[in-house]
Structure 1
Amino acid sequence: MTTHYIKKYGILLLILTATGFAGCKKYLDVNTNPNLSTTASPDLLLPAVQAAIGHVLGNPLQIYGNFWAQFWTQNPTSSQYRSIDQYASSTTDFDRVWRMMYSDGLQDIQEILTLTQGKASLNQYTAIALLMKAYDMQLATDAFGDVPLTQAATTNVTNPSYTPQQQVYDSIFAYTDRAISLIDVNAEVTPSNDDLLFQGDMEQWLRFANTFKLRAYLRLSEIAPQKAAAGIATLSDPGTLFLEDDAQINYSTIGGNQNPLFSEMLGLGRTQNMVASETVTKFMTDNNDPRINVFFNETRIDSIVGIKQGTYRTNSRNDSIALPSPVVGATGQNDKSANAPVKLMSAAESNFLQAEAVARGWLNTGKTAQLLFTNGITASFDAYNVEGATTYVAAAPAAQWPAGTQNQVRAIIIQKWLAMTGNQGFEAWTEWRRTNYPDFLVTSAASTLGAGRMPERLLYPSSEVTRNANFPGISLIYIKVWWDAN
């Protein structure tokens, strides 16, 4: 996998990664976007966009996702994320998430699109901006449901109206298709170091676009299967390129370029607020999954043991609870956490998406669903240099290919969930909401929602509740979003 290190934009990322999410109250609270100016240009705005998306995905959404996908739970010896384990978040917790998506992300995207409009020589910037817009809006709508779209990031509109989630998805597809039509892998003018993901490699961006389109259409599998099938069918060409490398932003310990989650942990005095959840560690142990030794650190008793979700009040095994490892940026006492990347999409995810679409009969890639399933597992092992993929595929119960479409979908999603342990928490939680797989997640012992209820969305931020005259009303955390039909 090609590594694209962030070198040129250290000061920008220092500002972004130093701004922790709402729970710790240690961020710079400003009302205007400092990235916008009369001298803005696409090459300056693009890394700001990608850094903002990397921050929101790799810090607050990573924390919520990893807790609610049951990779992590609250450390009994600390308290920072107890409200997350309790499903007791408040609207103020999401002001920063919203601001990063809209003021810091979408505004700069819109500025790029304005600056490149009608300039064919800048088509590759336009294409990337459209894909970043589609990605940003999917994060927003998957998190919150109905969101501002057509009037969002418009300077003269202070009370943007909300667009229903179904229409937001229609726009996501439109942005993606337009981007694909503009991508030219042989273009003379492309970004370079200002592209933090691929450094202007437009073939990689084409792969990203196709894989993202597949992800977005599969999101509709339970609410609009015919529409999902029709959209995915447009990708059924043996020449269609999908991601084979992780689409990620890399970080380092130099110049304030730390992984955004680790940066927050530094701001909290390196306090270890998250530990392993028994939900995932038990499943990995039962399947002799060697990735458990990569995603988690061994404890004093030389084993990987998590605690039941939300049992921080009653658990006393403090010295035997495994911690998330530095490879996912989540060990406060280990500086290697600074190097953990933020994955927008992964090669493993790409294969699992293709496997599900083929299993459902919606995609023809020339490969069987079982082969793509196995390729997804192998890609997950390879991403972390873990040996034993062949043995795991041959012997682990969770890696066996079952008969029947629904059983195959279940196996695919569970393997995708495992691959996303600690590194794609928000997407893992989102896929659980879509499919109800894994079907062995448990209600947190600390839940304040009542029996059987789990988090199904983020709460709208207090900034919208109190300031936007077009705010549609509060949706409780256990109310499902539109595409969540299970």
Structure 2
Amino acid sequence: MFRNIIRTAGVLLLMGSCSKSYLDVNNNNPNQVTTVSPHLLLAGTLNTTASIVTTDFPFLGCYQGYWTIAQGFSDITDYANYNFSTNFGQNIWTDVYGNLGNLAQIEAAAKADTTLVLYGAMAKIIKALNFQILVDVYNNIPYFDASSPLNIYPKYDNADTVYQHLVLTIDTAIAMINGATPGAVQPTGSDDIMFSGNMTSWKQLGNTLKLRMLLHQAGLTAKAAYIQARLADIATEGDGFLAGNAWVNPGYSQNTNQQNPFFSSFGFNSTGGAASNYTSFKANIYTIAFFNNTNDVRIGYDYAPLTGYTGNPPYLYVGAPFGTIGLPSPSSASSIGAYMPATSSTQAGPRVGLLQSDAQSCPLLTATESLFLQAEAAERGWISSDPQTLYQQAITASYAYLLVNNPDSAAGAYYAQPIQNVGWSASTNKLEAIIVQKWAALNGIDLEEVWSDYRRTGFPSDLPPSNSPNAVSKTPPVRLLYPQIEYQTNAANVNAEGSINQFTSKIFWIP
């Protein structure tokens, strides 16, 4: 399959993933990248995975109540009407499968040279994350056949089966790490641009990914015994869950094609000009109201104050409903992801929040999410930790990620308030509080995971749909359609999946 969805490896892969051109259906050489060093491939696949997580799902920023689209931008019709085609979001499929092709090259190199065992293990864990994204977006996908670069017509595999195999893949990776001999090549910061060769952190990431996949299935009573068995495996393994941020930095800078991909996509280009997404995506009134009603200072870290406002208080944050015709104009609502001092109109000046600098690290999975996953597991009785402590630690980690001043005291003051879904004691539904605060924390950071939470729990329960009078549904889609490229290059197998509807063809773990 990877001969039809393949990406050019090398330095461009490492530093230029924000300029994506991954699809080459005319490439008939499945062995094109075998000469590329697995060290360079590892750095490239990590960078690409972070780019996929942070930049491939802008439509979900609208569906999850964070953003809306300024009038005059073409995306508003597809986004707001929910009436998208097989071309909608196709880059997700091609980006992920292209990345998986390079991960397969690392696995093959490790199989041929046993001293590269740790590289093979790392590739398996990142492969599990990439395939998990595909299942969560498309349900059944090519999996077992897709591992062969010579199979250009892979059959589709059952999504539940894929999820189970991904857990086993992570188990294999952890066993490979634990079984590595002193002669194994040790990764360094130049190729392991996430953990600099800290293999304990890699095992913790693997366990956290397993917990994420198990929680996705929490609404399926038939999976209860399976979930408990896999939780026991995690406990027996003993390394626990991710304690810090799993983020990458291959040497991001302000140079062209070397910026942090989220910053260059949703912030500013290398010359300081605003990226198109910075101009087109604006604050959604839903999240602005949530932050205001809960006295949350993160409003000034996830959004920029309205340009040109000279009132009291000095900063004004304005949102607009998603899908409303004529709203907002590009200048009438706050931009996303940035804090700018009142005297600044460009990227000059101190940066905090989502858009800190060209050189900021790019996350695959944050400590914030890890703690919220653990809080949910504890609240469900899956693990023995205290859910309140984990919940409050997760909120604090969110404040720290955004560089809120004195994050411990600021977060402590926030969650001490007797407000529903903020203060632990004040929240009547603890699970809802956890998911709502996870939603607040992952604004602009991992939109696909937030979408998964909403689809499986229904929280936030008052999330507004599109206001567009032309919307084809009163509720947002639960999945994407299979991409057009599959109907062009793998028609028999994709058509065997039957008629797919973005509203009713559910992901297997949706209750």
The answer to whether the superposition gives a TM-score over 0.5 is: yes
Q: What is the CA–CA distance in structure 2 between the aligned matches of 1:16 and 1:35, rounded to whole Å? A: 21
Q: Which amino acid aligns with 2:483?
A: P
Corresponding residue of 1:190 = 186
Partners of 1:332 and 1:135 lie apart in 2 by 38
Residues 287, 396 of structure 1: 8 Å contact kept: no
Query: How far apart in 2 are the matches of 1:461 and 1:155?
Result: 20
Specify the SS of the correspondent of 1:148: coil
Q: What one-letter code is carried by the residue in structure 1 that aligns with 2:299?
A: I
- Could you tell me how far 1:10 is from its partner in structure 2? 5.8
Contact 1:327 1:339 in 2 (8 A): no
Match of 1:382 in 2: 400
Percent identity over paired residues: 29
Q: Does 1:236 align with 2:239?
A: no
1:74 partnered with 2:94 = no
Paired position in structure 2 for 1:282? 289
Residues in 2 aligned to 1:238 and 1:252: alpha-carbon distance in whole angstroms: 38
Q: Residues 16-27 of structure 1: matches in 2 within 5 Å? A: 16-19=17-20, 27=21
Q: 1:4 is matched with which residue?
A: none
What's 1:473 paired with?
498
Moved more, 462-471 or 138-147: 462-471
Residues 224-250 of structure 1, C-alpha deviations (whole Å, 9 max, x = no match): 233223322333369533212111123
- Indicate which of 433, 439, 453 corresponds to 2:461: 439
Letter in 1 for 2:334: A
Partner residue of 2:201 out of 196, 201, 204: 204
CA contact (8 A) 1:79 1:273 kept: no
Report if the CA contact (8 A) 1:10-1:255 is conserved.
no
Correspondence 1:8-407 to 2 at 5 A: 11-19=12-20, 27=21, 29-31=23-25, 32=27, 36-61=32-57, 63-102=58-97, 104-117=98-111, 119-184=113-178, 189-192=185-188, 193-223=190-220, 224-236=223-235, 239-250=238-249, 251-254=252-255, 256-264=257-265, 270-271=275-276, 272-299=279-306, 300-301=308-309, 302-311=315-324, 313-315=325-327, 319-326=331-338, 334=347, 338-364=358-384, 367-386=385-404, 387=406, 388-395=410-417, 397=419, 398-402=421-425, 407=429
CA distance in 2: counterparts of 1:480 and 1:309, whole angstroms: 24
Partner AA of 2:154 in structure 1:
P
SS of the residue corresponding to residue 16 of structure 2 reads helix
Q: Deviations over 1:206-232 (max 9, x none)?
A: 111111111111111012233223322
CA 1:437–1:35: 2 relative to 1, 3 Å? farther
Structure 2 vs 1, CA of residues 359 and 403 (structure 1 numbering), >3 Å: closer, same or farther? farther
Aligned mates of 1:327, 1:161 — CA distance in 2: 47
Look up the equivalent residue of 2:326 and give its one-letter code: T
Comparing 299-308 and 230-239, the one that deviates more = 230-239
Matched, 1:426 2:448: yes
Instruction: Give distance in 2, aligned partners of 1:384 and 1:269.
Output: 21
Of stretches 118-127 and 438-447 in structure 1, the one that deviates more from structure 2 is 118-127
Change (3 A) 1:74 1:411: same
Name the CA shift for 1:309/1:225 in 2 (closer, same or farther; >3 Å): farther
Does the C-alpha gap of structure 1 residues 280 and 135 become closer, same or farther in structure 2, counting only changes over 3 Å? Answer: same
What does the per-residue CA deviation read over 1:310-351, in whole Å, with 9 as the maximum and x for residues that have no partner?
A: 22x2325654411112489xx996485534543211111111
Deviations 1:84-143 (A, max 9, x none): 2322322123332211111x2111111111111164422211110110110110011101
- Report the Cα offset of residue 480 of structure 1: 4.5
Residues 30 and 149, structure 2, Cα contact 8 Å, conserved in 1: no
Q: Do the aligned partners of 2:466 and 2:474 also contact (CA within 8 Å) in 1?
A: no
Counterparts of 2:167 and 2:200, CA distance in 1: 19
Shift in CA distance, 333/456, structure 1 to aligned 2, threshold 3 Å: farther
Q: Is the CA contact (8 Å cut-off) linking 1:258 and 1:339 kept in structure 2? A: yes
Does the aligned pair in 2 maintain the 1:87–1:447 contact within 8 Å?
A: no
Contact 1:326 1:334 in 2 (8 A): no
Residues 374-417 of structure 1: CA deviation (Å, up to 9, x unaligned): 1111111111221411100111613222589x911111111111
Secondary structure in 2 matching 1:445? coil
**Could you tell me whether the CA contact under 8 Å between 2:100 and 2:130 is conserved in 1?**
yes
Question: How large is the Cα RMSD of the aligned pairs?
Answer: 2.9
Q: Secondary structure at the match of 1:73?
A: strand
Gaps of 5+ in 2: 1-9, 310-314, 349-355
Q: Distance in 2 between matches of 1:450 and 1:481?
A: 17
What is the CA-CA distance between 1:145 and the residue it aligns to?
0.8
Distance in structure 1 (CA, Å) of the matches to 2:469 and 2:488: 27
Going from structure 1 to structure 2, the CA distance change for 1:171 and 1:444 (only over 3 Å counts) comes to: same
Unaligned stretches of 5+ residues in structure 1: 1-8, 20-26
Secondary structure of 2:88's aligned partner: helix
Distance 2:122 2:394 in 1: 26
Give the secondary structure class of the aligned counterpart of 2:87. Answer: helix
Q: Give the direction of change, closer, same or farther, for the CA distance of 1:263–1:381 in structure 2 (3 Å limit).
A: closer
1:128–1:14 Cα change, 3 Å: closer
Q: Once the 2 structures are TM-superposed, how far is the Cα of residue 148 of structure 1 from its aligned partner?
A: 0.1
Change over 3 Å in CA distance of 1:37–1:234 after alignment to 2: closer
Deviation of 1:304 (Å): 1.5
